[in-house]
Chains A and B, each alone.
Chain A
Amino acid sequence: MSGVRRWTMIEHDRAGAVFLALIAAVAIAAPVLNQLVPASSPFHLSTYSLTLIGKYMCYAMLALAVDLIWGYAGILSLGHAAFFALGGYAMGMYLMRQIGPRGVYGDPILPDFMVFLNWQKLPWFWTGFNHFWFALVAIAAVPAALALVFGWFAFRSRVTGVYFSIMTQALSYALMLAFFRNDMGFGGNNGFTDFKDILGFDLHADRTRVVLVVVTAAALAASYLACRVIVSSRAGRLFRAIRDAESRARFLGYRVESYKLWVFVVSAVLAGIAGALYVPQVGIINPSEFAPINSIEAVIWVAVGGRGTLFGAAMGAVLVNYAKTYFTGALPELWLYALGALFVLVTLFLPHGLAGLGRRRRRAVQAGAAVPAIWVLGSHVGVSLGNKLK
Chain B
Amino acid sequence: MIRPPHLPSPDKILTLEDLTVSFDGFKALDGLTLSVDRGELRCIIGPNGAGKTTMMDVVTGKTRPDHGSAWFAQDVDLLALSEPEIAQAGIGRKFQKPTVFESLTVFENLELAIWGDKSFWKDLVARLTRAQRQHIDDILDVIGLTSERAALAGALAHGQKQWLEIGMLLMQEPELLLVDEPVAGMTPQETARTVELLLSLAAEHSLIVVEHDMDFVRSIARRVTVLHEGRVLADGNMDQVQNDPRVVEVYLGA
Known contacts A240-B104, A253-B87; A234/B99 CB under 8 A: no
Interface band, chain A: 20 to 34
Quick one: CB contact mask for A20-56 with B, threshold 8 Å, 1 for yes?
0000000000000000000000000000000000000
Q: A331: CB under 8 A from chain B? A: no
A234:B126 contact, CB within 8 angstroms: yes
Q: B102: CB under 8 A from chain A? A: yes
B99:A245 contact, CB within 8 angstroms: yes
CA distance A248 to B111 in the complex (A): 14
B63 CB to nearest A CB, Å: 12
B87:A252 contact, CB within 8 angstroms: yes
A258:B119 contact, CB within 8 angstroms: yes
CA distance A223 to B84 in the complex (A): 32
CA distance A261 to B120 in the complex (A): 9
Interface-side segment among A1-9, A352-360, A374-382: A1-9
B154:A2 contact, CB within 8 angstroms: yes
Q: Which of A75-125 contact B (CB under 8 A)?
A: none
A241:B101 contact, CB within 8 angstroms: yes
For B, the interface residue count at a CB cutoff of 8 angstroms equals: 34
CA distance A226 to B6 in the complex (A): 55
Q: B235: CB under 8 A from chain A? A: no
B88:A235 contact, CB within 8 angstroms: no
A19 CB to nearest B CB, Å: 21
Quick one: CB contact mask for B102-123 with A, threshold 8 Å, 1 for yes?
1110001101110100111101
**Across the two chains, which residue of chain B brings its CB closest to A256?**
B84
A310 CB to nearest B CB, Å: 16
CA distance A251 to B112 in the complex (A): 11
Known contacts A241-B104, A244-B101; A233/B87 CB under 8 A: no
A244:B103 contact, CB within 8 angstroms: yes
Quick one: CB contact mask for A203-236 with B, threshold 8 Å, 1 for yes?
0000000000000000000000000011001110
Known contacts A253-B87, A254-B84, A258-B119; A238/B112 CB under 8 A: yes
A252:B152 contact, CB within 8 angstroms: no
A251:B83 contact, CB within 8 angstroms: yes
Residues of B within 8 A of A230 (CB): 124
Q: A384: CB under 8 A from chain B? A: no
**Across the two chains, which residue of chain B brings its CB closest to A261?**
B120
Q: B62: CB under 8 A from chain A? A: yes
Q: A328: CB under 8 A from chain B? A: no
Q: A335: CB under 8 A from chain B? A: no
A251:B121 contact, CB within 8 angstroms: no
A238:B123 contact, CB within 8 angstroms: yes
Known contacts A2-B155, A241-B101, A262-B120; A234/B111 CB under 8 A: yes
B124:A247 contact, CB within 8 angstroms: no
Q: B157: CB under 8 A from chain A? A: no
Q: Which of B22-69 contact A (CB under 8 A)?
A: 60, 62
Q: A250: CB under 8 A from chain B? A: yes
B97 CB to nearest A CB, Å: 9
Return the contact of A253 from the options B100, B109, B123, B172 (Cβ within 8 A). Answer: B172
Known contacts A234-B112, A234-B123, A247-B62; A240/B83 CB under 8 A: no
Q: A263: CB under 8 A from chain B? A: yes
CA distance A237 to B152 in the complex (A): 13
A263:B101 contact, CB within 8 angstroms: no
Q: B205: CB under 8 A from chain A? A: no
Q: A255: CB under 8 A from chain B? A: yes
A176 CB to nearest B CB, Å: 30
Which interface residue of B92, B103, B125 has the most chain A CB atoms within 10 A? B103
Q: B251: CB under 8 A from chain A? A: no
Residues of B within 8 A of A343 (CB): none
A268 CB to nearest B CB, Å: 14
Q: Which of A246-283 contact B (CB under 8 A)?
A: 247-256, 258-259, 261-263
A5:B87 contact, CB within 8 angstroms: no
Residues of B within 8 A of A229 (CB): 124
Residues of B within 8 A of A5 (CB): 103, 152
Return the contact of B126 from the options A6, A233, A259 (Cβ within 8 A). Answer: A233
Residues of A within 8 A of B126 (CB): 233-234
Return the contact of A233 from the options B99, B119, B124, B155 (Cβ within 8 A). Answer: B124
What residues make up the interface of B, taking CB atoms closer than 8 Å to A?
60, 62, 83-84, 87-88, 92-93, 95, 99-104, 108-109, 111-113, 115, 118-121, 123-126, 152, 154-155, 168, 172
Closest 9 CB pairs of A and B: A235-B123, A262-B120, A241-B101, A253-B87, A234-B123, A245-B99, A248-B99, A244-B101, A253-B88
- A-B CB contact pairs (8 Å), 18 listed: A2-B152, A2-B154, A6-B152, A234-B111, A235-B123, A237-B112, A240-B101, A241-B112, A244-B101, A245-B100, A248-B101, A251-B60, A252-B168, A253-B118, A255-B84, A258-B120, A259-B120, A259-B123
Known: A245-B100, A249-B101, A255-B119. 18 other contacts (CB 8 A): A2-B152, A2-B155, A5-B152, A234-B112, A240-B101, A241-B109, A244-B99, A244-B101, A247-B62, A247-B83, A251-B83, A251-B92, A252-B172, A253-B84, A253-B87, A255-B84, A255-B118, A261-B120
